[in-house]
Structure 1
Amino acid sequence: MGSLSEVLEPIANQFEKLGIPDLIVHWGHPVMMAIVVLVMGNFIGFAGWRGRVAADTAIASKSLADHRKLAPWMFLFIALGYTGGVLSLVMQDQGILESPHFWTGSIVLGLLAINGTISMIGFGGNKVVLRTFHAYLGTTALCLLFVHAVLGLKLGLAI
């Protein structure tokens, strides 16, 4: 089996046949992911924390409902963006596994998958410790996304 880039090359070639402008190949992933992270990520993180700490039960309930509705969509968009970012690297003849940007993205995707799983199992019977872990793990993932963005900007300017 070849390198990851070699394995993904046939898929990247299909996208190259579409004639996507180089500017979009190069900067499309960061622009779209910036929207997802800055808008959705911040809103979802804020809603989750507001749901935990708001004294007004109506505000807390609405915030948690918003968090619950939007978080799976953010995970989907981040997973799709991750895929697009990897294919963009292949299309630009860049190494994948050598990139710290790739690794931070992979870690974030893993953290968010763990967080989603914790939520889907009902926080282990609504255990406070799992709800708290979920909140801090999600916050850690969002903070790491900002490190990821800095690494991505550095990568984008270097290519």
Structure 2
Amino acid sequence: MDNLRELLEPIAAWFRSLGIPEPIVHWGHPLMMGIVVFVMGSFVGFAGWRGRIVADKDVAVENLISHRTLAPWMFGFMAAGYTGGLLSLVMQQQPILKSPHFWTGSIVLLLLLVNGALAFFGFGKDKGTLRTVHAYLGSTALCLMFLHAVLGLRLGLAI
């Protein structure tokens, strides 16, 4: 824990030196990540499932293209937001590893990384099974994102 804080402290100190108003330091991460999770995450999940289950082939292809295009961007925003959340905690001199919010965020990123790797490598030889694993793993990550948001709101109100 101390190593992570020590690693991030110089960066957090630089951000503190900018004089960023406390409400932005405190609520900036939750606001931005809320948008990513609830808007982008919901759309990516919806498009992926719609691409799997809709009967109209053209609509299915359109949704799968949207899913395939936006999912990597969502992961990138979430990874950046994860880093921003860690820095926000260090800037506010709060513990990092003691929070369930930290752990759910870490698990979400890991699930999304595994899910992205499945898709990136073309689902291997057993495309049907691995596509199903991909769909359910992504849905699990999305549900965990919602829990993560609740835990984050609870954390934000506590500090």
Matched, 1:65 2:61: no
Which residue in the other structure is 1:106 paired with?
A: 106
Alpha-carbon distance, 1:59 to partner: 0.4
Aligned to 2:54: 54
Letter in 1 for 2:12: A
Q: Determine the structure 1 residue equivalent to 2:119.
A: 119
Q: 2:136 is aligned with what amino acid? A: Y
Q: Secondary structure at the match of 1:97?
A: coil
Provide the alpha-carbon RMSD of the alignment: 1.1
1:35-87 alpha-carbon deviations (Å, 9 max, x no partner): 01111000000000000001000000000000000000000000000000000
- Aligned AA (1:153): L
| CA displacement at 1:152 relative to structure 2 | 0.4
TM-score relative to the length of structure 1: 0.97
> Which residue number in structure 2 is paired with residue 140 of structure 1?
140
Shift of 1:147: 0.6
Given residue 30 of structure 2, which amino acid in structure 1 is its aligned partner? P
Q: SS at 2:60's partner residue?
A: helix
- Secondary structure of the 1:96 match is coil
Q: CA deviation at 1:125?
A: 3.5
Cα shift at 1:8: 1.0
Q: 1:4 to 1:80 in 2, by over 3 A?
A: same
What runs of 5+ residues in structure 1 fail to find an aligned partner? none
Amino acid at match of 1:135: A
Residue 19 (structure 1) shift:
1.2
1:15 aligns with 2:15: yes
Is 1:94 the counterpart of 2:94? The answer is yes
**Farther off after superposition, 125-134 or 87-96:** 125-134
Kindly state the Cα deviation for residue 17 of structure 1 after the two structures are TM-superposed. Answer: 1.2
Q: Which runs of 5+ in 2 are unaligned?
A: none
Between Structure 1 and Structure 2, how many residues are aligned? 159
Distance 1:52 1:61 in 2: 9
1:137 Cα deviation from its structure 2 partner: 0.3
Normalised TM-score (structure 2): 0.97
Secondary structure of 1:20's match? coil
Worse overlay, 27-36 or 6-15? 6-15
Moved over 3 A (4+): none
Matched, 1:131 2:128: no
Using the alignment, how far apart are the partners of 2:81 and 2:14 within structure 1? 17
C-alpha distance in structure 1 between counterparts of 2:148 and 2:90, whole Å: 18
